[in-house]
Structure 1
Amino acid sequence: MTRKFAIIAALGLTALSGVAIAQADPFVRNPVQVKSGSYVLDPAHGKITWSVDHMGFSTYVGQFTDVTANLDLDVRNPAASKLDASVKTDSVGTFHEGLDKHLKTADFLDTAKFPTAQFRATGIRLVDRDSAKISGNLTLHGITKPIVIDADFNQAGINPVDKRYSLGFDGEAKIKRSEFGINYGLPLLGNEITLHLEAEFKLKTPKGGA
């Protein structure tokens, strides 16, 4: 009976171990465990949401949906990492046709003259285990100004849908549109714009090999 009980117990432990392995979280949430390498933004899951005060009555919200970006991530030396992003200003959207057209005119973004906004990071500094300040230059409406993005790391791992190694983070930055020469409606319409970024990146080339 003792030997039989030992065999049953061993089989039970093996089964429980298998369940534990199957249920193990496949994602990492500690940035130091993320793979270094070259990443490209997943265009379907990279958006910039903006918000601005509307005469004190409400906070108006819209999005830029055509965003491209490349991230060269060095986990061992975050300051050496590089981030470049480009936004098609004509992709601005608010789900209101009239306002969308107005935002694209010379009163605001003047998308015909300035079809692209760009951001290039000049420095990345870790604040704590899973957040960083990304300093860089934003070119908008033909004017370049320094901004800081407060970024929070979400997680990294193999995406169960496309089976590609992915990482995600979100970020927030505040800019004053008057500094970029967009003055229409001031001061009734808010000057400070809050930019909220959601980004999922796909690994192209791991550091040290293809």
Structure 2
Amino acid sequence: MKKTFAGLALGGLMALSGSLHAADYVIDQKGQHAFINFKISHLGYSWLYGRFNDFSGNFNWDADKPEASAVKVSINTTSVDSNHAERDKHLRSDDFLNVAEHPTATFESTKVEMTGDDTANITGDLTLNGVTKPVVLDAKFIGEGEDPWGGYRAGFSGTTTLALKDFDISMDLGPASQEVELIISVEGVRQ
């Protein structure tokens, strides 16, 4: 069984779709149908939004055994994009993502727990800035079915909140900016 990360919220939710067999999916990032976004408070006055433009991953799921589902994602942290070149340069520095030493972040699921008919908690290990910590994704099944090109797709969304200090990001942005929210939307193509 393949394991997969990025998309972060995919693995166990596939079980929600009602397919009869376990299947492997590749995240359709190149087709612009998957996104890893983030938001963080700016001084408590507004939100700063950004994304990672380059990531890959896959997931496996089994409707009969959702607990056996898995997801694995790899993110190129140098692809951080907040729509401001100077800020992105700072985000890549050792004040934040330290991409010179840690150009890749990864997520690999370790447990899938169904919380409703179309929701799940996906626990996994997130490695960011050289630090590995367990995180839980609050995931939701969006839908599945055949696409116009003869393939079969399934989609999920998920969120989690990270404390910057947990990943050795020590830049002090003020009391309102100690956590960042990850917002994930993933569409996978069945293999």
For Structure 1 versus Structure 2, the TM-score category normalised by the shorter chain is 0.7 to 0.9
Pair 35,66 (structure 1): closer, same or farther in 2 beyond 3 Å: farther
| 1:46–1:67 Cα contact (<8 Å) kept | no
CA distance in 1, matches of 2:121, 2:185: 15
Which residue of the other structure, out of 10, 17, 22, is the alignment partner of 1:31?
A: 17
Q: Which structure would you say has the larger Rg?
A: 1
2:184 aligned with 1:179: no
Q: Matched residues, percent identical? A: 35
2:27 aligned with 1:41: yes
What is residue 95 of structure 2 aligned with on the other side?
A: 107
Q: What is the number of residues matched between the two proteins? A: 175
Gaps of 5+ in 2: 1-15
What TM-score, normalized to structure 1? Answer: 0.79
Residue pairs, 1:1-210, within 5 angstroms: 31-33=17-19, 36-43=22-29, 44-160=32-148, 162-188=149-175, 190-204=177-191
Shift of 1:31: 1.7
CA distance in 1, matches of 2:33, 2:52: 12
Bigger relative CO (Cα 8 Å, ≥ 6 apart): 2
Indicate the SS of the match to 2:110. strand
Gaps of 5+ in 1: 1-29, 205-210
Structure with more of its chain in helix, by fraction: 1
Which amino acid is 1:37 matched to?
Answer: A
Return structure 1 stretches of 4+ with deviation > 3 angstroms.
none
Question: Per-residue CA shift, 1:114-139, capped at 9, x if unaligned?
Answer: 00000000011111111111001100
Pair 57,176 (structure 1): closer, same or farther in 2 beyond 3 Å: same
CA RMSD of aligned residues (A): 1.6
Shift of 1:57: 1.6
Which amino acid is 1:95 matched to?
Answer: N
Question: Per-residue CA shift, 1:50-71, capped at 9, x if unaligned?
Answer: 0011111211110012111110
Indicate the SS of the match to 1:144. strand
Indicate the SS of the match to 1:101. helix
What TM-score, normalized to structure 2? Answer: 0.87
| 2:112–2:121 Cα contact (<8 Å) kept | yes
